[in-house]
Structures are given as C-alpha cells and as structure tokens.
C-alpha cells in the first residue's frame, strides 16, 4: 500500500495511506496553504526587519507615480510598479545595521 509522508524542516507533519489521488491532492493543498503564512516563511532564528526600515530614506528609482514604493510596505491593496519595464531599482535604508539573509516579495495574483 502506498504511503505518503509529508516533511517540513526534517519533521514529519502528516502521513497519508493509500492510493487515493483526491485525498493526496487535498492533503497537498492543505499543507501548501499552511506554508504560505508569513511565520513559516521566516527562517528559524531570524526575524522580520520591516520595523527597522528607515522608510523616508528608502526609494525606488523607476517606480510609477500611481504605484509608489510605499505600497510595497503595507497590505492595503496597493502595489509597486515600474514606470518603464519589468525591473525595479530599489534602495532600502535601515535605522541600524542589519544582516539581510533573504527578501520576500509578494506579488498580486494574476487575473
């Protein structure tokens, strides 16, 4: 009998017995939905440094006037958009020294 064991960070989070494709698809969707929470995206031992940003000194050199860099820092429904091409040139300033491990960028869903 097929056995599916789901791991996250070397820890078993779930197990599914049998060859039921619908149950397998539902389990994958369930576990993928859990992984999309912000706390799961932060690496263990590290933290979100958004509150260390010196926002008045941050800038995007090629952003559209209707979609400025401020939209990238909140979840009010706005978004950051380049005024010329698909690339963004962003300068981030912090209130103190930080060691940046990774940067998470959330994009709007395509319609």
- Residue 6's pLDDT is 87
Does 98 lie in the same domain as 53? yes
When divided into structural domains, the chain yields a total of 2
58 and 108 co-located in one domain: yes
Residues 80, 60 share a domain: yes
Tell me the per-residue pLDDT of 24-79, one tens digit each, with 9 for 90 and over: 888 888 887 765 555 555 667 777 888 899 999 999 999 999 999 988 888 777 88
For the record, the structure tokens of 108 come out as 């709007």
Top pLDDT among 107 and 17 is at 17
Domain containing residue 57: CATH number: 2.60.120.470
Structure confidence at residue 60 (pLDDT): 94
Expressed as residue numbers, the domain containing 31 is 3-36
Cα–Cα distance, 6 to 103 (Å, whole number)? 26
**What per-residue confidence (pLDDT) applies to 44?**
73
pTM: 0.55
48 and 99 both lie in a single domain:
yes
- Range 102-107 average pLDDT: 77
Give the total residue count for the chain: 111
């Amino acid at each position: 009998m097929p056995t599916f064991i789901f791991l996250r960070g070397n820890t078993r989070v779930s197990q599914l017995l049998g060859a039921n494709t619908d149950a397998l698809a539902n389990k994958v969707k369930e576990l993928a939905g859990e992984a999309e929470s912000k706390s799961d995206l932060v690496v263990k031992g590290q933290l979100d440094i958004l509150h260390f940003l010196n926002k008045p000194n941050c800038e995007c050199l090629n952003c559209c006037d209707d979609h400025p860099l401020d939209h990238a820092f909140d979840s009010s429904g706005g978004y950051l958009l380049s005024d010329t091409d698909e690339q963004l040139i962003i300068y981030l300033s912090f209130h103190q020294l930080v060691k940046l491990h990774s940067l998470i960028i959330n994009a709007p869903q395509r319609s």
